Amino acid sequence: MYGVVVMACSQCVCKLLTMVSVAYQPFPMVGRARGQVWRYAPQYRRPRHFHAELEVNLVTAGTGTVGVGELIFGVLPGDLLSWPPGVDHELLEASADFELYVMGATPEFSARVLGSAEGRAYGGPVQLRLNAAQVAELRQRCAVPPGEGGGTVAAETAIGDLWHDLQASRAADGAANSITRRVVCSLKAKPDLGRDRLARLVRTHPSELSRHFHRGVGLTLAAYRTRVRLARFIETVDRGGDLLSSALSAGFGSYSQCHRSFWSVLGCAPSRFFDRQTRREMEEAFVTLDESFR
């Protein structure tokens, strides 16, 4: 397990004036892979988006600015960043020498790799600082194609080992992180849970729950719960469910509530989103960094 220094987000974060529109873009996996490592390339920078997969980013060179929910903060070499499922994120600015490795794993694969420690993948602060030796070791492992020459099994084993070590490095104590972790895990299992019920489950006051969660992930509890429900709704429809039953099983009180939330977050109706062409355009959208930042 790696030692870490927890960055005090209150010292480096400012609020966005307004929330921007987001896209639903599943983490890009090659073929039937359950985990993947990518090296950031400017031409493939994704717009503000969220997905159902866990994601971890490692900054190894240069500087950048990241938007997460309602927060904006700067990143430096050695920063290990984590995006829980449903939290929107975007690289807003980057220096010309910016180097970033992006890692993701499906919930099922992450659960198998982490076992009883799965919950730690959902907790911990968004931004951690690793020391130079830790960064060099992780960079080497990220830069070498996992399982090179060893086939699919070797690749998945290498990804699993890396994922395990990254999550171990993020393990951190603290009441706020514990609350965030328990909330995310609870909503993952039952997205229909309301704030009061969640507060009872995590044994804290509803207002304290909301405050800790908002500060920890940059989204209000209500906004995050909506993202979790939308991701579940999309997943259920993709498996062949109809719109109404999928909305109800995702935790929405009615299809009209689901429809309103869909419009509010993704900017289109569910029927349009599930049109093959519209879906492909959203998932494959890329944006260009302003040249003044490079």
CB 147 within 8 A of CB 157: yes
* 240 pLDDT more than 80: yes
3-state secondary structure of 65: strand
pLDDT at 151: 57
- pLDDT exceeding 70 applies to what percent of the chain? 85
Nearest CA to 218 out of 75, 48, 14 is that of: 14
Each residue of 266-288: b (16+ CB within 10 Å) or e?
beeebeebeeeeeeeebeeeeee
Which range, 4-13, 132-141, 150-159, has the best average confidence (pLDDT)?
Answer: 132-141
Average pLDDT, the chain: 85
* Mean pLDDT across 90-115: 93
Burial 47-79 (b: 16+ CB within 10 A, else e): bbbbbbbbbbbbbbebbbebbbbbbbbebebbb
Mean pLDDT (whole number) for 65-86: 93
pLDDT at residue 79 greater than cutoff 90: yes
pLDDT digits (tens, 9 = 90+) for 156-198: 888 999 999 888 877 654 444 678 888 888 998 899 999 999 9
The more confident residue out of 71 and 77 is 77
Q: 12 near 64, Cβ under 8 Å?
A: no
Helix (H/G/I), strand (E/B), else coil: 191 = coil
Its pTM stands at 0.84
Residues written for the chain: 294
Rounded distance, CA 35 to CA 159, Å?
A: 6
Residue 11 confidence class, pLDDT cut points 50, 70, 90: very low
pLDDT tens column, 107-141? 899 999 988 777 777 766 688 899 999 999 999 99
Per-residue pLDDT, 18:
43
Tokens representing residue 162 in the block: 């890396």
Look at residue 177 in the predicted model and tell me its pLDDT: 63
pLDDT of residue 156: 85
